[in-house]
Structure 1
Amino acid sequence: MSSSPSTRSQTAVPDVESQQPKAQYNGEESLELKSLQYEVTLEHHEHPQSLSLPRKWLIVLVISSSALCVTCASSAASFTENGVSETFHVSQEVTILAISLFVEGLGLGPLLTGPLSEVYGRNIIYRVSFVLLFAFSFGVAFAPNIAVYLVFRFITGLCGSTFLSVAGGSVSDLFDNKTVANPMAVYTISPFIGPVVGPLLSGSIFQNTNWRWTYYTLSIWTFTQTFALFVLVPETYVPVLRKQKAISLRKSTGNTKYFAPLEKSEINLGQAILISCYKPFQLMLYDRMALLLNTWTSLILGILYLAFQAFPVIFETNHGFNMQDTGLAFLGIGLGMLCGLASQPYWNGVFAREAEKNNGVAPPEARLYMGEVGGILTPLGLYFLAFTTYPSVHWIVPIIASIFFGTGIYFVFTCVFTYLVTAYRPIAASAMASNSAMRSTFAAVFPLFASYMYDGLGTAGATALLAGVMTLTVPLPFVYRRIGPRLRAKSRFAVA
């Protein structure tokens, strides 16, 4: 970071006084111009987008693996339930709360971390988040009773939620609009691959040791991610980088006039947090488009988390799998997500063609083409899964069926996330927070009634019911792609 006065002369506002007669300005304008000369901006080489491509991708991968670590911890509890139940002498219904409370923490955390990141930067939030996550994970791994276990599961979910709200901003800091699609796709898929990896990890561990080793392993992984965040991930938030440069210039030159806009802004942190708490719910209350899109993704995530209770019934009861093999059965969903990610270059071409039709800027509705495919694949995969769960059908068939479901998940979430950010750009953080809060609530609740539903309706009936619910949402992206511009024009929040 440059700190010499001569460097500052390159970053200041152009020398207006040498280009225009001084008499044109009154005293206030002249004073304002002089003040602007001390406003610190970044040189090209100081901007995060000027980092080398390998370095930028390394940062994206560290951030993405951190998000994967957090969401893996959310679902890893699914295969520790029997061990926790035996250790603490509680019913399985109580142990399911370990998933529900963690996921609810993931949903509520962004309401706090979003405003904090806009004041203090992204890097300090990441580091504090994972240091706390590592510290509190010991409360889960060494819990002496069920109350301590559940309380620390909620707290760790709250601490880890940073990477579901702030991390997307880091990706956009590093890449411009033309190159951000692929790294954003890698980041977007990581929180959804995590819940698939969780049962695979915990099933293998619990099959060979005991449930506490699942959390010991997660603690080791968390420590590794914490180290990587400290060593490999720099600050990327431009307003904070300008503030840091201004502080450096004041120290090195002794001139206290240097300043960054963030230092001059009258940010009331308490008010910012209050707004971030009610703005997402205000958006859902007054904007039907946001409400229905959030409901769509919430249903899908709820079904994904419900699968952590359903797959043991399907594969252990019907096909005689052990716990480790049942964890491996989730690979079908993960493979489907990776297939969706592999199709990203095709979708980039679709968006580019839409941009050409609209003066170089693709409208938000262009993202819904991907959602149309995902909206069809999701219930299709569930129907396929529903009627292949019988013991007489080979076990590979329902796993193949889950591939379609996994691809549909990727398409739906990628399209909705991108749509919310572009359609509600002035309040993009609130739009994403509204989605996070709602979908996390669904994901927390759905596992609680999974066993009752599958016991009452059977594997085919229960899964077919879920497929039927998702069928009702199929028209959503088709309708919004056509009427979206009209709805945005009438919305009090969306960009017209």
Structure 2
Amino acid sequence: MSIRAEKEAESTRDSSEYEKTETDKGNGGLEEEIETTRDKKPEIAQDDLGDDLERHLSRKSTRKQKLEPEKHPLMDLENSLVGWESQDDPINPRNLTEKRKWSILGGVSAITFLTPLSSSILGPAIPFLNEDFNNTSQILGSFTVSVFVLGFAVGPLFFSPLSEIFGRRIVLNVSNVIFCAFSLGCALAPNLNSLIVMRFLAGLGGSACLTIGAGVISDLFPIEQRGKAMAVYTLGVLFGPTIGPIIGGFIAQRAGWRWVFRVIFITGVLLSAAILALYPESNHVVLLDRKTARLRKELDRPELLNILTHKKDTNSLLRRNILLQGLIRPLRLLFTSPIVFLLSLYMSFVFGLLFLLFTTITQVYIKTYGWSPELCGLSFLGVGLGNFLGIMFVARTSDATIVRLTKRNNGVYEPEFRLPTCVFFGFLIPISFFWYGWTTYYHVHWVVPIIGLLPFGCGMMGIFAPIQTYLIDSFPQYAASAVAGLTAIRCLFGAVLPLAGPSMYEALGLGWGNSLLGFVACAMIPFPALIYKYGGVIRKKWPVNM
């Protein structure tokens, strides 16, 4: 065999192994990803499972005696393909130090905590805002809160595919500037109409981090670390809206509702500046695109192609067509994949319930228990504590669970292994709404409804984190787009469902109104179970054409 043929064969093997890892198919997917767990201390349960899996696979196959490290596509200039210099290439984001990876994720998670917090922080301030603007419409007052989430629904459809084409860093930084600018605009709004417009645009800018974070996790972390990474990231997404009303109530009553937005603006500027200074580009395709462009110029070889996208490059697609495909990808994933659609519908309903509480619980505690607006934010402590307990459980069990299930599956990893716990957490949602609805209806002591919302907060975390991690594992190269489709529909529910709250409670009362929501939540519990059982077959037999 000639030297050229040998290199071509080696490049083909590297590229195919990379694609197999990214699509999580076959025995190699998880084996290659969990190599790093073998040398850890034995007292860590997940690592013990990794060792057990290695011994199991070693007994099963005499040809492959040990787990191999993850393979990345390497340089093959003779075939005009540009890849990583070596498996340990420091430019590859997967080879960053653990401290560096977690610091990057921490920065993205911080801004992802702030923007969802901004979505709900205005809730307790609605009475003061209505008084200033002479507004008597409950629906319009609720819409002032939920219109921010409508911006969350629209923004990811653009920002996520743009981050996959032009890079995470530039898109995240531009969106942060938009968020900060229009948060200041909210503080200066002269009337209710302008405030609603500014809130929508601020939500639009603040939406990018909600889905780019999923892309960052896919860029930086191997499969066996993504559960823990997603738990940290999701903490901000769901814990932020819970903290928002607690802060907003005190600020609005003591300093005025405009200071709510001033605090958001100041904090947003500080976090955006830190991300601008510290966060590097992490998108593998974009990094190799830049390297390809540099080598084309330095070596005077215009025929060089990115090894990750060379099949697309050979089709001579125009840049505008690539951009168009990227922009419609989230919608294609959402509406052509029954997996993405069903899980998105489930998450969307639960997210809508959260914002229904944000827009109604203040009035419930004012009328039922005689609380002041600043104290009403404390009614979300039950949801917040539930969020914390739920995310702790997910962080400690998610990655260990997939290693154990992979062992039982003869060493073959499937993304569906993320979903079994969702069924258990799903039962907590209706329990909370039956509890909360009837205790407030019968004017039971104020602490009882707060405790009743604790299972809801726990259930939300136990549903959101595994589902988002499942989508990252199922569509690793397009993780941001997959989560964008999910985010769009759930934020649409978050914006619209609260508008039905006042009329529903007026017609059915707090008891039967919340029970109706609990019954719907019960009907959706089987969704993750169905995807767990049939999702792998659907993904493999009817893959989505990207």
Whether these two folds match at TM > 0.5 is yes
- Equivalent positions of 1:93-104 (< 5 A) are 93-104=139-150
Structure 2 counterpart of 1:39: 82
DSSP 3-state at the match of 1:180: helix
Structure 2 counterpart of 1:450: 501
Partner Cα separation in structure 2 for residue 472 and residue 33 of structure 1: 53
DSSP 3-state at the match of 1:236: coil
Structure 2 counterpart of 1:293: 343
How far did residue 299 of structure 1 move? Answer: 0.8
How far did residue 390 of structure 1 move? Answer: 4.3
Partner Cα separation in structure 2 for residue 368 and residue 185 of structure 1: 14
Structure 1 counterpart of 2:128: 83
Provide Cα deviations, 1:12-43, integer angstroms capped at 9, x if missing partner.
Answer: xxx945979xxxxxxxxxxx975546735355
DSSP 3-state at the match of 1:493: coil
Q: Percent identity?
A: 32
Q: Does 1:190 align with 2:240?
A: no
Structure 2 counterpart of 1:257: 301
- Equivalent positions of 1:115-194 (< 5 A) are 115-194=161-240
Measured at CA, do residues 299 and 56 of structure 1 come closer, stay the same or move farther in structure 2, by a change above 3 Å?
Answer: same
Structure 2 counterpart of 1:313: 363
Partner Cα separation in structure 1 for residue 216 and residue 446 of structure 2: 41
DSSP 3-state at the match of 1:159: helix
Partner Cα separation in structure 1 for residue 387 and residue 146 of structure 2: 23
Provide Cα deviations, 1:246-294, integer angstroms capped at 9, x if missing partner.
Answer: 566678xx54338562897456454344334544444444444433222
Q: Aligned partner of 1:77: which letter? A: L
> Which sections of structure 1, spanning at least 5 residues, go unmatched?
1-14, 21-31
Partner Cα separation in structure 2 for residue 410 and residue 217 of structure 1: 27
Structure 1 counterpart of 2:419: 368
Structure 2 counterpart of 1:110: 156
Q: Aligned partner of 2:134: which letter? A: H
Q: Does 1:353 align with 2:404?
A: yes
Partner Cα separation in structure 2 for residue 34 and residue 491 of structure 1: 35
Structure 2 counterpart of 1:23: none
Q: Aligned partner of 1:165: which letter? A: T
Structure 2 counterpart of 1:52: 97
Provide Cα deviations, 1:379-431, integer angstroms capped at 9, x if missing partner.
Answer: 11222222222464222221111110011111111222233333455754443
Q: Does 1:387 align with 2:432?
A: no
Aligned residues of 1:488 and 1:494 also touching (Cα < 8 A): no
Structure 1 counterpart of 2:373: 323
Structure 2 counterpart of 1:4: none
Q: Aligned partner of 2:520: which letter? A: V
* Deviating more after overlay: 280-289 vs 124-133: 280-289
Aligned residues of 1:196 and 1:330 also touching (Cα < 8 A): yes
Partner Cα separation in structure 2 for residue 85 and residue 219 of structure 1: 22
Partner Cα separation in structure 1 for residue 333 and residue 440 of structure 2: 40
Provide Cα deviations, 1:303-348, integer angstroms capped at 9, x if missing partner.
Answer: 1100012211332222222222211221211211111111122233
* Deviating more after overlay: 50-59 vs 334-343: 50-59
Structure 2 counterpart of 1:407: 458
Aligned residues of 1:130 and 1:160 also touching (Cα < 8 A): yes
* Deviating more after overlay: 468-477 vs 354-363: 354-363
Measured at CA, do residues 380 and 391 of structure 1 come closer, stay the same or move farther in structure 2, by a change above 3 Å?
Answer: closer
How far did residue 471 of structure 1 move? Answer: 1.2
Partner Cα separation in structure 1 for residue 533 and residue 512 of structure 2: 34
Aligned residues of 2:352 and 2:495 also touching (Cα < 8 A): yes
Provide Cα deviations, 1:436-463, integer angstroms capped at 9, x if missing partner.
Answer: 2211111110111212222332222221
Measured at CA, do residues 487 and 396 of structure 1 come closer, stay the same or move farther in structure 2, by a change above 3 Å?
Answer: same
Q: Does 1:274 align with 2:324?
A: yes
Measured at CA, do residues 70 and 268 of structure 1 come closer, stay the same or move farther in structure 2, by a change above 3 Å?
Answer: farther
Partner Cα separation in structure 1 for residue 192 and residue 254 of structure 2: 23
* Deviating more after overlay: 422-431 vs 305-314: 422-431
Measured at CA, do residues 474 and 180 of structure 1 come closer, stay the same or move farther in structure 2, by a change above 3 Å?
Answer: closer
Q: Aligned partner of 2:451: which letter? A: I
Structure 1 counterpart of 2:258: 212
How far did residue 484 of structure 1 move? Answer: 3.2
Normalising by structure 1, we get a TM-score of 0.86
Partner Cα separation in structure 2 for residue 239 and residue 356 of structure 1: 32
How far did residue 79 of structure 1 move? Answer: 2.2
Q: Does 1:62 align with 2:112?
A: no
* Deviating more after overlay: 272-281 vs 255-264: 255-264
Measured at CA, do residues 212 and 407 of structure 1 come closer, stay the same or move farther in structure 2, by a change above 3 Å?
Answer: same
Structure 2 counterpart of 1:303: 353
Aligned residues of 2:155 and 2:205 also touching (Cα < 8 A): yes
Measured at CA, do residues 356 and 145 of structure 1 come closer, stay the same or move farther in structure 2, by a change above 3 Å?
Answer: same
> Which sections of structure 2, spanning at least 5 residues, go unmatched?
8-74
How far did residue 96 of structure 1 move? Answer: 2.3
Partner Cα separation in structure 2 for residue 426 and residue 285 of structure 1: 19
Measured at CA, do residues 427 and 462 of structure 1 come closer, stay the same or move farther in structure 2, by a change above 3 Å?
Answer: same
Provide Cα deviations, 1:167-210, integer angstroms capped at 9, x if missing partner.
Answer: 11112222222222211211122111111121112111012111
Aligned residues of 1:425 and 1:494 also touching (Cα < 8 A): no
Measured at CA, do residues 489 and 177 of structure 1 come closer, stay the same or move farther in structure 2, by a change above 3 Å?
Answer: closer
Aligned residues of 1:374 and 1:408 also touching (Cα < 8 A): yes
DSSP 3-state at the match of 2:344: helix
Structure 2 counterpart of 1:419: 470
Aligned residues of 1:423 and 1:494 also touching (Cα < 8 A): no
Aligned residues of 1:337 and 1:407 also touching (Cα < 8 A): yes
Normalising by structure 2, we get a TM-score of 0.79
Q: Aligned partner of 2:300: which letter? A: T
* Deviating more after overlay: 86-95 vs 218-227: 86-95
Provide Cα deviations, 1:207-244, integer angstroms capped at 9, x if missing partner.
Answer: 21111000000001110111110122111122333344
Backbone CA RMSD of aligned residues: 2.9
Partner Cα separation in structure 1 for residue 289 and residue 182 of structure 2: 32
